[in-house]
Chain A
Amino acid sequence: MTRYLKTAFTLFAISAVCTALCAFVNQITAPLIAANNESDRLLALEAVSAGYTIGEETEGNGESVSYLIPLTDESGELKGYILGLTANGYGGPMDVIASYNPDGSIIAAKMSTNSETPGIGKKAEESWYMEMFTGLGGDSPIPLSKSELSDTDSAAVSGASITFSGVTSALKAGSDYVKSLGGEA
């Protein structure tokens, strides 16, 4: 009996010390991590806002649009929206932040958190990738497959078709959502 108790106590003591160590490090790092996440989010919003004033965040449609932020100009007139979109990539869910004109055309987009393969799917994080879609979504449709792209763009996204179709379907869903709002905040 004492042998079991001794064994259990040893394991308990080791676990307790380890937990205390983790808790101590967490105390130091938690505020820094929260600050990093917040500044990343603000930077991403700033990058797609096209200089307009960023409004209050509201909830999206609960499906592919996770949140909605209206963009206004100096006079307070609605100029567009920033949408937080969830896309399905090769490495799991990807967060895409995109801004739209009220007619549903894309102003700018940015890849946020993702687990795509570095050097392949991660290319979607680079600015030229999302620039392919600027202005699309209104009168001209967003390409949903690589065959709808120009040869140069198609070659650039080759090897990462799943990332590409994930990004484009999310952008299209965002565009449709913006159109459904009909220009209201």
Chain B
Amino acid sequence: MSHMKELTKGLFKENPTFIIMLGMCPTLSVSTQVSNALGMGVAVIFVLTCSNIFISLLRKVIPDSIRIPSYIVIIASFVTVVEMVMHAFVPSIYEALGVYLPLIVVNCIILGRAEAFAGKNGVLDSALDGIGMGIGFTMSLSFIALIREIFGAGKITLFPIGSFSGTITIPGLSESPVRVVALAAGALLLMGYLKAFFQWKSERGKKA
């Protein structure tokens, strides 16, 4: 049961984006298109899970004085692996994510989870924590991207499969979108509203 809790806590109760407020930089910058958000999410889930497993495995070997450099080396390696794999197999997402892909190295969620969780807990719990937090981040990121893309561009960009071109156009909004939502200022505004909404929801939950 407790294992299940490690997995699910990242989804809502300790959601990295809306509750812990970690990893704001990629959240605001990559959330312009749903496909980018999903690509970034998958990359973060992979890096977070792998680094959590490795750091948890090595937690008794790594001396305390060099734990941060060790964590960074491990995280950076997995990020490099993701970067090379994406560049080779999904070049369009690699291009779209641009500089934010290598910047996963310094994503606070990953180092934060390594320091706060994986360095102190067992392998299974750390792996579940990584997957849960990663999915929580992906969900929040995709949710913000969905709102920004629908209102800011009047479309939803997914991945082309078979005869489906990958883009859903929303009539009405695509001709006259609310362009500010697609811009950086719109991302901050939207993030503020969503944070307020989740705050209100959790406060209400406590009172009830």
Contacts and interface: CB of A to CB of B under 8 A. Distances in A.
A29 B84 contact: yes
B120 interface: no
A11 B88 contact: no
Contact of A118 (B81, B87, B88, B96): B96
Given A10-B70, A159-B183, 14 more contacts: A7-B65, A18-B76, A21-B81, A22-B81, A29-B84, A29-B88, A32-B88, A33-B87, A36-B91, A115-B99, A119-B33, A119-B182, A120-B183, A159-B179
A98 B184 CA distance: 31
A10 B66 contact: yes
A115 B98 contact: yes
A25 B183 contact: no
Interface string A65-81: 00000000000000000
Interface residues of A, number: 27
B169 interface: no
B56 interface: no
Interface in A92-150: 113, 115, 117-120
B121 interface: no
**Secondary structure class of chain B's binding surface, majority of residues:** helix
Contacts of A18: 73-74, 76-77
Interface of B: 32-33, 36, 58, 61-63, 65-66, 69-70, 73-74, 76-77, 80-81, 84-85, 87-89, 91, 95-96, 98-99, 149, 152-153, 179, 182-183
A6 to B, nearest CB: 7
B49 to A, nearest CB: 15
Contacts of A21: 77, 81
Counting chain B CB atoms within 10 Å of each CB, the highest count among A19, A28, A120 belongs to: A120
Nearest to B95: A113
A39 to B, nearest CB: 10
Interface string A17-39: 01101100110111011001000
11 contacts: A10-B70, A14-B74, A21-B77, A22-B81, A25-B81, A28-B88, A33-B88, A40-B91, A113-B95, A115-B99, A159-B183
A14 B72 CA distance: 11
Given A21-B81, A29-B84, A119-B153, A7 B66 contact: yes
A46 to B, nearest CB: 17
A118 B95 CA distance: 11
A119 B91 CA distance: 18
A15 B63 CA distance: 14
A15 B73 CA distance: 6
Nearest to B81: A25
A11 B66 contact: yes
